[in-house]
Amino acid sequence: MSTLSHRERLQTITAGEKPDRFAASFWRHFFHAEHHAEGTVEAMLGFQKQFDWDFMKINPRADYHVEGWGLTQHWSHNEFKKHTKGNFPIKSADDWVTLKALSTSTPVLAEHLKVVSEIRKGSDRELPVLMTLFTPLSIAGRMVEDQQMLVDHIRMEPAKVEIGLRTITDTFARFVSELRNAGADGLFYATTQWASSDRLTWEEYERFGVPYDLELVRAAENDALNLLHVCSTNNYLEELAKLDYNAAMYNWDSFHPTNTPLEDAHNIITTGALVGGVDHRGWLQNSTPEEVTVLVDQLKSGTDPSRLIIGPGCSIPPETPLENLKAIRDRL
């Protein structure tokens, strides 16, 4: 029987101590609902009410970061289909130089501060709430129609890209402070495809990623409950784990053969909790609830509840069978 609150359980695990039970959290998009603050709030609170996860990762629309610079969205009204995008802000390297910093009162940023505030008001105070924030380089990558354009700009016009990254970082440093004021316990801080050798060398990420990343981490304050999500294949989890990202939790796709397996991660992540263990594209999609129960039992028997929070390697597909999520939650 559970004896700790969600917050107490996470505090116990992130301190490296044994909790009353395994913790778990899963997250997904609700494309048909995330066009506005009210829809996002309702979807996030409904999902939490249904499964009672140990922390909430707010899943806003992914491109909220760049709408204030002119990106347009054609909204999907299908729960399982992404929005389509247009009017990308960066069309040439010179556009990085003319990019202007945004105020936190910019409508799209104000909308997402409202999302955090309303979710905090509508949820149990003992539920840790993390707001999704992409790193500055990841935000830059969403400003171009073809991500190879940003890679080319980094390699051919690096000074111009750095001016753009400074503008993005200044904008979101202010936003991060307001997120904490709105009630976020910390950041779900995502590198998306950029902390990966598929996109950049480590030396390039050290220059164009790390310094700006750390500024936003510092803006969240030392007491933030942050999760560092290192996305993509061939990722730089090991390199990032050596740096001070003030991460209480680490999450990545441990099932992809190019990434660090979960069982080896303890050797490179020595403090904080690992979030994962569930193949969100494989057995979570394709197994029966009875099979999921067996797989969760196997996961629990081979791992330490003081280091692992059961979760996916990334946002789960919206079509994930709800009965499989229920099987996980019931087995904790």
Q: What CATH number should be reported for the domain holding residue 70?
A: 3.20.20.210
Residue 304 falls within a domain, yes or no? yes
Q: Is residue 237 part of a domain?
A: yes
What residues pair up with 308 in beta bridges, in sequence order?
A: 274
Residue 153: inside a domain: yes
Nearest to 22 by CA among 310, 302, 276: 310
Can you give the residue range of the structural domain that contains 317? 6-330
Tens place of pLDDT for every residue, the chain, 332 residues? 679 999 999 999 999 999 999 999 999 999 999 999 999 999 999 999 999 999 999 999 999 999 999 999 999 999 999 999 999 999 999 999 999 999 999 999 999 999 999 999 999 999 999 999 999 999 999 999 999 999 999 999 999 999 999 999 999 999 999 999 999 999 999 999 999 999 999 999 999 999 999 999 999 999 999 999 999 999 999 999 999 999 999 999 999 999 999 999 999 999 999 999 999 999 999 999 999 999 999 999 999 999 999 999 999 999 999 999 999 999 99
Distances in Å between the alpha carbon of 54 and those of 23, 181, 203, 263, 268? 6, 22, 36, 22, 25
Number of domains in the chain: 1
Residue 1 inside a domain? The answer is no
Question: Residue 116 falls within a domain, yes or no?
Answer: yes
Give the residue carrying structure tokens 């099987």: 327
For residue 180, give every residue at least 6 positions away whose Cβ sits within 8 Å of its Cβ, in sequence order, or none.
Answer: 220, 221, 224
